[in-house]
Structure 1
Amino acid sequence: MTSTSAPTDTQASTTRRIASLDVARGIAILGTFGTNVWIFTEPRGMVGYLKTVGGESLPIRVLQTLAQGKFLGLLSLMFGVGLAIQQASAVRHAAADDRARSLRSRRPWPGRYWRRALVLFLDGLLHFLLVAEFDVLMGYALVSFLVSALLILRPVARTRWVIGAVAVHLSVVALAVLAMMLSGDGAASQRSTSNPYADGSFLDLVLFRIDHALLFRAEMIFMIPLTIAMFLTGARLFQAGIFGPDGAGLRRRLMTIGAVAAVVDLAVGVVGAPLGLSGPAVFVGRYAIAPLVALGVLALIAEFYQRRAVGRVGGALRNVGRTALSCYVLQNLVASALCYGWGLGLAARYGAEHRLVFTLAVYVAVMGFLLAASALWTRRFSRGPIEMLMHRAA
């Protein structure tokens, strides 16, 4: 049996944008690039990154561990929050009209949400082919088809879906880690003398992604159960009032979970290489521990802005959050132009000998560009260009 509940006070308050919500999205976008930037600055791109991640010098391992999976988890939670907000808006619009049952303009949830999901999928497909083989938008679009329908279920039914999805995900993680340990090599084993990232044209990279589409889309498929759980959890946390004054107890519990998980995650990431388990360590950290850290990060952001106005730094992050999907694509496009051979080709020149300094420089440069671009854009528009397309699709 299904049930679409009326919006709570917390949900209704989203007619005004919640400051911490936009800031959290902005942090998720910039933090996700903290993981992806190491792919761009690796001279052999994604192929080289898969072979070396977790096995580099201690400072690099620490930095990679601090970003690995946490902000992707935060982005997934925020996507779930966004679905809950859209559902609440649809319910309010239907309830506001006494004749909603007979009007063709009624918008029951999920209604025409599939149009938004389709636009997101097509955007992700173009992003994968033209920009980045690690795109998450295609997976987000596919999962959102399912989760948008699941949101009309009773909370207990949604909880069962979360538990089931987590159980499936952790079972696959355990099997994958066991396979890595038995094989003695968690890195990609594919070898090739050519390097399209450094030597190829833009078209060469597109064709390379098409030729290896199954390999590059394997993570998206693998993460479907986890993404379902994170979307539903984000929606439930929003409905439970994590951004409101009554959510203090919930935020404290999540911050405690996140703090403990962060310590465990850092320890696993640092000691993995010396023990000869760099691949399994990265895998466990990214897919099993990092989602718990993401819960703590979300709670920390929400708590920080309970009694504080958004200042200059928060305002800059909020601009990125308001244009989150557009900034996600833009940051990868700019980094590609800086690092790959079809652009400036900086990764081949500096990525090997000056890995740490070069990566930090690229991160700061792209982050600064995003902050400036989002600030200029939001002076005239309330949404980013991709967000506009999705809004019009509805």
Structure 2
Amino acid sequence: MEGDQAWRPGLDQETLERADWTSQVKDYAIVRLDRDGLVLSWNAGAELVKGYSREEILGRSFEVFYPPEDRESGLPRRLLAVAEADGRAEHQGWRLRRDGVRFWGDVVITAVRGDSGQLLGFVKVTRDLTEQHLLERSRQQFVAGVTHDFRSPLTSIEGYAAMLVAELTDPVLGDFASRVRSNALRLMKLVDLMVEHCQLPIGSVRLNPEQVALGAVLRTVVDDLSTTVQDHEVSIQDTDVELRADLTALARVFTNLIGNAAKYSPPGSRIDVLVERSEDAADAVDIVVADRGRGIDPEDRDTIFDEFVRGRRAHDDGGFGLGLSVVRALVEQHGGAVRIDDGRFGGTDVTVRLPLADTGSTGSTANGPGLQTAQGS
């Protein structure tokens, strides 16, 4: 039968083995180095990226691709040492073309070993990311400028409004001042959210994982949201779960989710934060933020975590539709996942699944059946 026949190439094996498969690749500079870093091979991409012809560069040290300050600091040799010890080394930085012009290179150096494990040399792959790097620098400068230009006047407005709230005795004027202050704070939060959103896709948010107690994080988040949840009762399930996570990023995730639950739930309703064993992943835990609010339209389920998407039931509530996209990005950076389901209490359940810390524990989710209740008011 046709499906039982092994695939056979149209060319003979000798021809395939004799061909230089990388020499014609033009999108990447692919260079073979000996153990001392001398160039042994040179493909078309290397000539385009670095400007040397094959005849000019063969036999020369790969250090000529690095600026003088990097050569003086020993960077090329350190990269080879890392690749030899760990199997590969990665680095981004300025590199030199033959004409002396610098370009921003993304470099991966891989150690190549023989059958007995002896080091034979290295393969160095370089991409020219100059355009992307300069664009990213411009974007960061723009975001920094916009952040400063927005936050400075908003901080001033909020500060003076807070003074008026404290000093005014006329209840009507005091209410006006309070509204000014709350809107200034809301705009400041939106500015922070936009900056955070701009940073996430390019990996500018650096995670610093540490052992964190999930229960302590959730309690701190609710305490910090006391004003936001003051009209709700927030119940946090007792738990001894520990995670390997970035404390600040984890707090951002649940600040956003619990804040959303309060925003889209009627005053006086309860919000439950539940910690459950994952049914289909023994090394993970599910944290569920369950509200009794308006819920999410079923047609929005597949897109609600996308950037600038706001559900059909949220058009009159303000915001840019960035909060849940930030939540998803941060959770996925931790190796987790997030989903939205119909709420067990009639509203919405948002489930964050995160890997458990490897502590040798059984991964139990609760010390007991009780709930810790935080009253917003």
**Is the shorter-chain TM-score for this pair beyond 0.5, marking a shared fold?**
no
Richer in strand (by share): 2
Richer in helix (by share): 1
Tell which has more relative contact order, 1 or 2 (C-alpha 8 A, sep 6+).
1
When normalised by structure 1's length, the TM-score is: 0.22
